[in-house]
Amino acid sequence: MCSKLLLFLVLLTMTSLKAASTTTLKLAFLAPEGVTWSVGMQKIADAVKTKTQGRVEFKLYFNGVVGDEADVLRKIRIGQMGGGMFTGKTLGDIYPDIRVMEIPFTFHEKLQKALPALTTLTPDFKKEIEKKGHQCLAIYEVGHVYLATTKKVKSLDELKGLKIWTWEGDKIAETLIKNMKLISVPLALPDVLSSLSSGIIDAAYAPPLALMALQWHTKVKYVINHPIAYATGALLVSKKEWNKIAPADQKIITETADTEIKMTNEQTEKDNEAAVASLKKIGIEFISFPEKDYANALLIRDAVKKELEGSFLSKVMIDKLNNIIK
């Protein structure tokens, strides 16, 4: 009897010591399991647990089960979550200048320059995000953004009658839609699928891989065969949670993330190309606009950039991007 009690106390003590020595970070993602970004994150989590000998563990929540990105950010601020992957509007709420990559039509006929530009600016982005109270473990390529519609349109002018989803409070999307004289319907991202189905909106925008991952491809029939923007994401951990981790383990995490994110970004490019092929295979029609519309797109880009410069995006960061592209 005494030996059983002693064994129980030993096991209880070992369990308590393990719990006390393990830091668990709860991270949330809108992406479902199985897509490139989620697979890459799972690899990081597995590697970190092994390399730190269990001192650091990531508990991952995929498919938006914790809520929209704005919900996740609020939960991080009150200590309910440790971090997550953020994109677009929510990422811009943390650090607006990272959205310089999303100025519409910036990579017009220069699609291959987008990822190298993002890679070049990543150290700047990480440094500035850290000043906002978050440790930035990775900057993701989400991909070139296409407009998908339930109705067939053949020109920029025909777009003007469509109800287009925008992320509520998204400064860049709002500015673009205003300059293009389109109809904006602000919605939370999880509401887009049902809104496409019910006719509340006629169009939404996302990279091809995201169109499929979010199941929007099941509700649209057409894709405008020219990207309107380039989307990025970032894997962030709150500084409060990050500072609980020993410096040696922080180093392991950052090195692991740096290695994995390079492979993830390369895979994202391939998967977006494959997603385009898949969309075409299931019968979604890719529509090309007249050449004059692409020339007009550059005028729209300049107007959007002029309006955002100084009020939302800094001239310094806009100039940095322009110099990299040139």
Residue 12 maps to a domain: no
Q: For residue range 140-162, list pLDDT tens digits in order.
A: 999 999 999 999 999 999 998 89
The verdict on residue 171 lying in a domain is: yes
What does pTM read for this prediction? 0.87
Q: Which pLDDT band holds residue 11 (cuts at 50, 70, 90)?
A: very low
Q: What pLDDT is attached to residue 3?
A: 53
Q: Is the pLDDT reported for residue 205 higher than 80?
A: yes
As a whole number, mean pLDDT of residues 56-70 equals 94
Q: CATH number of the domain at 213, please.
A: 3.40.190.170
Phi, psi (rounded to 5 degrees) for 174: -60, -40
- Token code pair at residue 207: 């990279």
pLDDT reading at 21 higher than 80:
no
> 42: pLDDT confidence band, cut at 50, 70 and 90?
very high
Could you tell me whether strands 183-187 and 203-206 are parallel, antiparallel, or unpaired per DSSP bridges?
Answer: unpaired
7-13, long-range: CB < 8 A, 24+ apart: none
pLDDT score at 12: 45
Q: Tell whether 29 is covered by a domain.
A: yes
**pLDDT at residue 189 in the model:** 85
Q: How confident is the model at residue 111 (pLDDT cuts 50, 70, 90)?
A: confident
Looking at residue 276, its pLDDT comes to: 96
Flag whether 9 is in a domain. no
Q: For position 14, what pLDDT does the model report?
A: 43
| Closest-CA residue to 235 (of 93, 85, 41, 67) | 85
Residue 292: pLDDT over 70:
yes
Position with higher pLDDT, 88 vs 20: 88
Q: List, for residues 220-252, the tens digit of each pLDDT value.
A: 999 999 999 999 999 999 999 999 999 999 999
**Above 90 in pLDDT, residue 18?**
no
Structural domain range at position 182: 24-325
| 73 domain-assigned | yes
Q: Evaluate whether residue 17 is within a structural domain.
A: no
How many of the other CB atoms lie within 10 Å of CB of 247?
Answer: 8
Count of structural domains within the chain: 1
Determine how many CB atoms are found less than 10 A away from the CB of residue 35. 20
In a domain, 11, yes or no: no
Q: Does the pLDDT at position 9 exceed 50?
A: no
Mean pLDDT of 25-50: 94
Strand partners, 166: 186
Please tell me the predicted confidence (pLDDT) of residue 110.
Answer: 79
What is the pLDDT, as a whole number, of residue 13?
42
Instruction: Answer yes or no: is pLDDT of 8 > 60.
Output: no
Confirm whether 6 is domain-assigned.
Answer: no
Alpha carbon distances (Å) from 188 to 69, 86, 193, 268: 9, 14, 10, 24
Q: Which class for 18: exposed (0-12), middle (13-18), buried (19 or more C-beta within 10 A)?
A: exposed
